[in-house]
Structure 1
Amino acid sequence: MEAISTSVLVIILFVLIIISAYFSGSETAMMSLNRYRLRHLANNGHKGAKRAIRLLERPDRLIGLILIGNNLVNILASAIATILGIRLFGDVGVAIATGVLTLVVLVFAEVTPKTVAALHPERIAFPSSVLLKALLVLLSPLVKIVNFITSTFLRLLGIRSVKADDALSQEELRTVVHEAGALIPQRHQEMLLSIMDLEKVTVEDIMIPRSDLYAINVNDDFSRINKQVIQSPHTRVLLYRDNIDDAVGFVHLRDALRLQSKQQFSKSSLLRAVKEIYFIPEGTPLNVQLANFQQNKERIGLVVDEYGDIQGLVTLEDILEEIVGDFTTSMITTPSEDINQQQDGSFLIDATINIRDLNKEMDWHFPIDGPKTLNGLILEYLEEIPEPNTSMRLSGYPLEVVEVADNMVKTVRVMPQHYKAPKGSRN
Structure 2
Amino acid sequence: MEPSSLPAFLDTAFWLTAGAIFVLLMMSAFFSGSETALTASSRAKLRSRADRGDRGADAALLVTEDSERLIGAILLGNNVVNILSASLATALLTRIFGDSGVAFATLGMTALVLIFSEVLPKTYAITDPETVAARVARPIRLLTKVLAPVVGVVRAIVRGLLWVFGVRTSADQHMFSVQDEIAGALAIGAEEGTVQKEDRDRLLGALDLGNRTVEEIMRHRSGIEMIDADAPSEQILAHVVNSAHTRLPLYRGERENVVGVIHSKDLLRAVEKLTREDQGNLATLHDLDVLKVAMQPYFVPETTSLDEQMREFLKRRTHFALVVDEYGDLKGLITLEDILEEIVGEIADEFDMDADLALKPNEAGDYLVEGAMTIRDLNRAMDWSLPDDEANTLAGLVIHEAQMIPTEGQVFSFHGFRFEVTGRKDNRITKLKIRPL
Q: What is the TM-score normalised by the length of structure 2?
A: 0.68
> Alpha-carbon deviation of 1:412?
3.9
Name the CA shift for 1:111/1:303 in 2 (closer, same or farther; >3 Å).
same
The one-letter amino acid of 1:206's match is I
Q: Could you say which residue in structure 2 is the equivalent of 1:178?
A: 187
> Alpha-carbon deviation of 1:136?
7.0
Q: Could you say which residue in structure 2 is the equivalent of 1:392?
A: 410
Counting only pairs closer than 5 Å after superposition, residues 12-411 of structure 1 correspond to structure 2 as 12-13=16-17, 15-35=19-39, 37-38=42-43, 40-41=45-46, 43-44=50-51, 45-53=53-61, 57=66, 58-59=69-70, 60-68=72-80, 75=87, 85=96, 93-94=97-98, 105-121=109-125, 122=129, 126-130=134-138, 140=146, 143=147, 147=151, 150=154, 154=158, 157=161, 165-168=173-176, 174-175=183-184, 177-181=186-190, 184-195=195-206, 197-198=208-209, 201-241=212-252, 243-262=254-273, 263=276, 266=285, 268=288, 270-328=290-348, 345-346=365-366, 349-351=369-371, 353-354=373-374, 357=377, 360-361=380-381, 363=384, 365=386, 369-370=390-391, 372=393, 374=395, 390-396=408-414, 397-401=418-422, 404=425, 407=426
The separation in 2 between residues aligned to 1:398 and 1:111, in whole angstroms, is 54
The one-letter amino acid of 1:28's match is S
The separation in 2 between residues aligned to 1:38 and 1:412, in whole angstroms, is 47
Is the CA contact 1:18–1:109 (under 8 Å) kept in the aligned structure 2? Answer: no
Name the CA shift for 1:79/1:188 in 2 (closer, same or farther; >3 Å).
same
The separation in 1 between residues aligned to 2:429 and 2:94, in whole angstroms, is 89
> Alpha-carbon deviation of 1:118?
0.8
> Alpha-carbon deviation of 1:112?
1.8
Unpaired stretches in structure 2, ≥5 consecutive residues: 1-7, 278-283
> Alpha-carbon deviation of 1:187?
2.8
> Alpha-carbon deviation of 1:299?
1.9
Is the CA contact 2:320–2:335 (under 8 Å) kept in the aligned structure 1? Answer: yes
Q: Cα RMSD between the aligned structures?
A: 4.7
The separation in 2 between residues aligned to 1:158 and 1:373, in whole angstroms, is 41
> Alpha-carbon deviation of 1:249?
1.8
Is the CA contact 2:94–2:101 (under 8 Å) kept in the aligned structure 1? Answer: yes
The separation in 2 between residues aligned to 1:76 and 1:384, in whole angstroms, is 74
Range moving further from structure 2, 220-229 or 100-109: 100-109
Unpaired stretches in structure 1, ≥5 consecutive residues: 86-92, 421-427
Name the CA shift for 1:180/1:223 in 2 (closer, same or farther; >3 Å).
same
SS of alignment partner, residue 211 of structure 1? helix
Is the CA contact 2:89–2:109 (under 8 Å) kept in the aligned structure 1? Answer: no
Is the CA contact 1:39–1:49 (under 8 Å) kept in the aligned structure 2? Answer: no
SS of alignment partner, residue 234 of structure 2? helix
Name the CA shift for 1:100/1:369 in 2 (closer, same or farther; >3 Å).
closer
How many equivalent pairs are there?
395
**Percent identity (aligned):** 24
The one-letter amino acid of 2:214's match is V
The one-letter amino acid of 2:341's match is E
The separation in 2 between residues aligned to 1:375 and 1:13, in whole angstroms, is 72
Name the CA shift for 1:79/1:144 in 2 (closer, same or farther; >3 Å).
farther
> Alpha-carbon deviation of 1:30?
2.0
Is the CA contact 1:402–1:412 (under 8 Å) kept in the aligned structure 2? Answer: yes
The one-letter amino acid of 2:342's match is E
Deviations 1:91-140 (A, max 9, x none): xx445766666555444455223212211224655445555566777xx4
The separation in 1 between residues aligned to 2:213 and 2:79, in whole angstroms, is 52
Name the CA shift for 1:97/1:164 in 2 (closer, same or farther; >3 Å).
farther
The separation in 1 between residues aligned to 2:148 and 2:250, in whole angstroms, is 74
Is the CA contact 1:239–1:250 (under 8 Å) kept in the aligned structure 2? Answer: yes
> Alpha-carbon deviation of 1:277?
0.8
Q: What is the TM-score normalised by the length of structure 1?
A: 0.70
